[in-house]
Structure 1
Amino acid sequence: MADSQEANLRIVERHPVVLDSYLPYGMYRPGGKGGGVLQWKVGQSREMFACLADPSVAPETWPVLLRPEAGVWRRYDISMSELTYRLLADESFAEFGTAGLINPPFFIRA
């Protein structure tokens, strides 16, 4: 994730307009003051996945941020493991995951 963040910082230095995609939170800068968006994935549909990093609290408490292409950040106060579950199984997250695309599991009695 650190390499990805460094790459994002280099892009912002060359193209400052990119900073707008981190609004209203701003971009997380390691070693800087305060928190911000710590992006960790861009999906195939250009949706963005991130944490709202805050060095003053434990990382496992950082909220998850999701942003559809050309959309606004959506904040979820959930853990990464719950996000993974929701991306796979919760149809309210279908815009970002595979929920609804895969049939639910079922069992046949022998």
Structure 2
Amino acid sequence: MQRVNELVSMTGWQGERQKVEWGEIERRLETRLPADFKEICEVFGRGAFCGYLELLPVDSAGPRSLLGRWTAMKERWANPRMRARFEPYQVFEQSGLILWGQSVTEASYYWLADASESPETWPIVARTDPLEELHRFDVSTSEFICRVLTDRDFRPFSVASKVKSLYFESYG
């Protein structure tokens, strides 16, 4: 988990490790989640990197949590306008999109998940706002977060030129 350690080092994070019941989350999704994402959630907990990139909560099934957002997306998928916003992708049901994070400026970060493949190989699909095009990145969750925070050329997602110092803000 080298990239997760980089995130800890870059942000100076010193919070307590969180206990997460991954079994229930993965049972409901019917797939495992990427190990680096699980590590990030356990190390950092609820919160946002640089007050910008927020991890969806995994410690509940509330409407704003990873499971809650996935459930809502599945329920709205029958609407053709909803489906059109995500073409050529679909909501996850053995394969498809699972939202794992968002930004305070309406960017959305998904895995292009496939239950038949290792979650470590899932690409990231993201967009800067709900009406913009989706971009695909063949990187891990932790690498994607690192690049958003530090790579000035990681357009259109980078905040590196806007953030003076890196930090993680816990939502406790």
Does TM, scored on the shorter chain, surpass 0.5?
Answer: yes
Following TM superposition, the consecutive aligned residue runs of length 4 or more in structure 1 with deviations greater than 4 angstroms are: none
Amino acid across the alignment from 1:23: E
| Equivalent residues of 1:50, 1:64 under 8 A apart | yes
SS in 2 for 1:92: coil
Q: Distance in 1 between matches of 2:113 and 2:143?
A: 17
| Structure 1 unmatched ranges of 5 or more | 106-110
Whose relative contact order is higher, 1 or 2, with alpha carbons under 8 Å and at least 6 apart?
A: 2
| Equivalent residues of 2:73, 2:91 under 8 A apart | no
1:93-108 equivalences in 2 (<5 Å): 93=154, 95-103=156-164
Tell me how many residue pairs correspond in the alignment: 100
Work out which of the two has the higher radius of gyration on C-alpha atoms and give 1 or 2: 1
| Equivalent residues of 1:94, 1:100 under 8 A apart | no
Residue deviations 1:70-105 (CA, integer Å, cap 9, x gap): 222111111111111101100123532421112479
| Equivalent residues of 2:99, 2:110 under 8 A apart | yes
CA distance change for structure 1 residues 4 and 104 in 2, over 3 Å: closer, same or farther?
closer
Structure 1 residue 64, shift from structure 2 partner? 0.7
Structure 1 residue 19, shift from structure 2 partner? 1.2
What CA RMSD, in Å, does the superposition of the two structures yield over aligned residues?
A: 2.1
Moved more, 19-28 or 77-86: 19-28
| Equivalent residues of 2:109, 2:127 under 8 A apart | yes
SS in 1 for 2:145: helix
Of 127, 130, 143 in structure 2, the residue corresponding to residue 67 of structure 1 is 127
Q: Distance in 2 between matches of 1:22 and 1:54?
A: 16
With normalisation by structure 2, the TM-score equals 0.51
Amino acid across the alignment from 1:68: T
CA distance change for structure 1 residues 58 and 23 in 2, over 3 Å: closer, same or farther?
same
Which residue is equivalent to 1:24?
A: 88
Structure 1 residue 10, shift from structure 2 partner? 2.0
Q: Structure 1 residue 7 and structure 2 residue 72: aligned?
A: yes
| Structure 2 unmatched ranges of 5 or more | 1-65, 167-172
